[in-house]
Chains A and B, each alone.
Chain A
């Protein structure tokens, strides 16, 4: 398969902040690619360099085999972009907005109206954009990115403001797009979303990609693949640490949690001691990978 995006050692500095500090990645045609990372990790900056909105200080970037910088009109019709901050024409209704954006790509009005349906905004068609709720505006912004059926779609935290229904509906829309053979690149803070949607993810922090790969591969690579927890008090933490297979033990006074690479062995040991009250076994998720890589402290 051909590579839709090839980035090599991209760098971007803002003053003394290394917003992007040596990012290399490739996205294949038809791939669903996710960029994960804490606030300020450099996700938006990376995306905007790929889209051609910002110039990298160093490194090479090619999209469909061409350079997106300086503004490359040959690439633009093939890409659809939803920016992190929605931007609309002032005082237009949702329908007028979408039709205007559509017309920039030669999309007929009827097609634009269909797109409104796709993102569930039909009954807000005649509402001015200033009067849409945050999530509705977000959906309109996504619709504007998809209206011309681009081959390559960039979505910067598309589900950040969405309610659970809208979020799942959007997943369906994106999956359908991807199944059509189109390439999707998104950033998100929702690990479940990345796990459900993405063929491959890159976890970023401090402007660098820390790890990338298929979500399942990343999870399997974790030291502690599972966590077994029982009600707090059925066993004390020190005793738990002596159990066969136990790696790490924490007790938060609600539950006693044992991290392990061998969940069956730990459960068997707990059963022997009659300490199975409230037992739960959780496989590690992408979230564990994320926290393992980026730490648990707040970021600036």
Chain B
């Protein structure tokens, strides 16, 4: 086996056996994604739960075209017992109960939740209007078209997935690289390897290869979980451009981690400094909320973080459907970060602890 391969497999084995590190780099961010994604998944489908007492004409004889839309905002349960229905609405189990009395559609609602009952009334009103209009046999003169002002594709899960993934990659890369380098130096592995004929850059290249591999595993897991129907991530056409984005991003994070590890004397200081970089970077870099909504000065400041550029690029290719060429600036910026941090790290690098 070549030195490179055997070093890489030794490092991979060491990492795989480090349960703590695996938890923090892989499991914890996934839990984060599941928690945040789950939160928004629930929020994005506020269906009105209504009871239908007996048969209500506007509901039962709805044209098929309308029924599809109707199903998105209503969940209808049939019930025959009127009193029981009213009791359920009163208790808040259902948002409203519909009843047909002659030509009137009666909406029974509770005053307890005014927002919900208001919504149901409006929706049912719309239903009745539509039925009236259909009964008149004339084409409608005016139509209502509702349009969301935010980017349509940006459902919460669409920006949370690349964002949390970016944070996960940044912490795995920076903590991994900085603490590994300090460990190698304090435990004397560096000086031992210095005595072997393998060039030190091969040793580092092996470590970088292992990290890139781990990052791809993280990415696949993240996208796999987020595209589950429950979370509902929709990948846009050029999503595979996320792979070079991730690789370039991880190179940048590793280089910064190496720089921290080259400078830090102890494991504790390496961890503290990594944390001091990762945390603000994740918040300002748009991992947890879209930076577009932040004040201008903050957006400008956030440009100093590689994670900001990774997040921008990932959003473009994963959610906004932008073409591969659109992220070339981001790829370039990330590689530049990697290059500069590597150059500084090489200058700060020490073989010996003392």
A binds B: yes
Seen from chain A, the residues whose Cβ lies within 8 Å of a Cβ on chain B are 51-53, 71, 73, 76-77, 79, 81, 83, 85-92, 96, 99-101, 103-106, 109, 128
The answer to whether A53 touches B191, judged by C-beta atoms less than 8 angstroms apart, is: yes
Return the chain A residue nearest B10 by Cβ: A100
The answer to whether A103 and B191 touch across the interface, beta carbons within 8 angstroms, is no
Q: Which residues in A have their C-beta under 8 angstroms from that of B193?
A: 104
Tell me whether A87 and B196 are in contact (CB under 8 A): no
Question: A83-B192, A105-B196 provided; 11 other pairs, C-beta below 8 A?
Answer: A51-B195, A73-B199, A87-B188, A87-B192, A89-B14, A90-B187, A91-B18, A92-B10, A100-B7, A100-B10, A101-B196
- CB neighbours (8 Å) of A109 from chain B are 1
Interface-central residue, B13, B191, B192, by most chain A CB under 10 Å = B192
Q: CB distance B6 to A71 under 8 Å?
A: no
Report chain A residues within 8 Å CB of B143: none
Chain B residue nearest to A73 (CB atoms) is B197
- When the two chains form their complex, are residues A87 and B187 in contact, meaning their CB atoms are under 8 A apart? yes
Can you list, as one digit per residue, whether each of B1-37 has a CB less than 8 Å from chain A (1) or not (0)? Answer: 1110111001101100110000000000000000000
Asked if B183 is an interface residue, CB under 8 A from chain A, the answer is yes
Q: Is the CB of B10 within 8 A of A77?
A: no
CB contact under 8 A between A87 and B7, given known A103-B1, A104-B196, A105-B197:
no
A72 CB to nearest B CB, Å: 10
B189 beta carbon closer than 8 Å to chain A = yes
Q: How far is the CA of A104 from the CA of B191 in the complex (A)?
A: 14
- Which of B2, B191, B197 has a CB less than 8 Å from the CB of A77? B197
Q: How far is the CA of A89 from the CA of B17 in the complex (A)?
A: 12
A103 to B193, CA, bound (A): 12
Chain A CB within 8 A of B194 CB: yes
Partner of B14, one of A87, A92, A104, A105: A92
Report if B198 contacts A (CB, 8 A). Answer: yes
CA distance A227 to B186 in the complex (A): 48
User: How far does the alpha carbon of A143 sit from the alpha carbon of B30 in the complex, in Å?
Assistant: 42
Taken together as a complex, chains A and B put the C-alpha atoms of A30 and B251 apart, in Å, by: 48
Q: Is the CB of B1 within 8 A of A104?
A: no
Contacts of A128 in B (CB 8 A): 17
CB-nearest residue of chain B to A102: B6
CA distance A109 to B17 in the complex (A): 22
User: What is the CA–CA distance of A83 and B14 in the complex, to the nearest angstrom?
Assistant: 22
Closest CB of chain A to B22's CB: distance in Å? 12
Is the pair B6, A100 in contact by a Cβ cutoff of 8 Å?
yes
A103 and B6 form a contact (CB under 8 A):
yes
Residue from B3, B11, B192 in contact with A103 in the complex, judged by beta carbons closer than 8 Å: B3
Nearest-neighbor residue (CB-CB) of B193 within chain A: A104
User: When chains A and B are docked, how far (Å) is the Cα of A147 from the Cα of B150?
Assistant: 65
Task: Say yes or no: A71-B194 contact (C-beta < 8 A), given A88-B189, A91-B13.
Answer: yes
Establish whether residues A83 and B13, one from each chain, have CB atoms under 8 Å apart when the complex forms: no
What A residues does B197 contact at CB under 8 A?
A: 73, 76-77, 104-105
Is the beta-carbon distance between A91 and B196 smaller than 8 angstroms?
A: no
Taken together as a complex, chains A and B put the C-alpha atoms of A90 and B21 apart, in Å, by 13
Q: In the complex the two chains form, what is the Cα distance from A68 to B10 in whole Å?
A: 28
**Contact status B196-A76, CB under 8 Å:** yes
